[in-house]
Amino acid sequence: MSVSKPSRRKLWIILVVVVVAVIVVASVAFITRLTTFAPPAPSGPNVTIWNGTFCSDSGNCGYVPTVKNVTTGTTVTWTNTGGMPHTVTTCDSAHYSSAGCPAQDAAGLDSFTSGPIDSGKTFSYTFTTTGTYYYYCTPHPWMRGEIVVQ
């Protein structure tokens, strides 16, 4: 009794299945190794924007620190270390919630928005008026932070 050799087509199908399986396993391993913990707060007047995986809630993306105290005239720089674009958009305190911020009026304070900040890019803003500036990420409204200017 002889064993027949598999056809070339069957070998190609097996090879494709193995390659797809390796890609799926490698992708899952990569995603599970991404941190879901905020990085340490940067020094100076800086804020880190981070995301661990897909930025689906406040547990895997945000601003570090969430509250930053500075003096008048300080330029704060936000650096996006995450893998997707984020924004820094001021918000009025009455509308500052996990649902986002439909009102952009920062209660008499300067209002600003960074627009999309790509991964590895920065946005800077100089604070000239005392007060508390609330801000959030427009595509990810659960990402929120505050700059307290004294």
Amino acid sitting at position 68: K
pLDDT tens, 80-114? 998 899 999 888 766 666 555 655 555 556 788 89
* 141 within some domain: yes
| Domain CATH code at residue 57 | 2.60.40.420
Whether 120 is covered by a domain: the verdict is: yes
| 33 SS3 class | helix
**Does the residue 72 lie in any domain?**
yes
Give the Cα separation of 148 and 150 in Å (integer).
Answer: 6
Q: What share of the chain is helix, strand, coil (3-state, %, to 5)?
A: 20, 30, 50
Structure tokens at 1: 């009794």
pTM of the entire predicted model: 0.72
pLDDT by 10-residue block (mean), the chain, 150 residues:
67 89 75 66 93 80 94 97 91 64 58 92 95 89 91
Q: State residue 6's pLDDT score.
A: 63
Cα–Cα distance between 150 and 137 in angstroms, integer?
Answer: 24
Q: Which domain holds residue 58?
A: 46-149
Number of domains in the chain: 1
Residue 8, in any domain of the structure = no
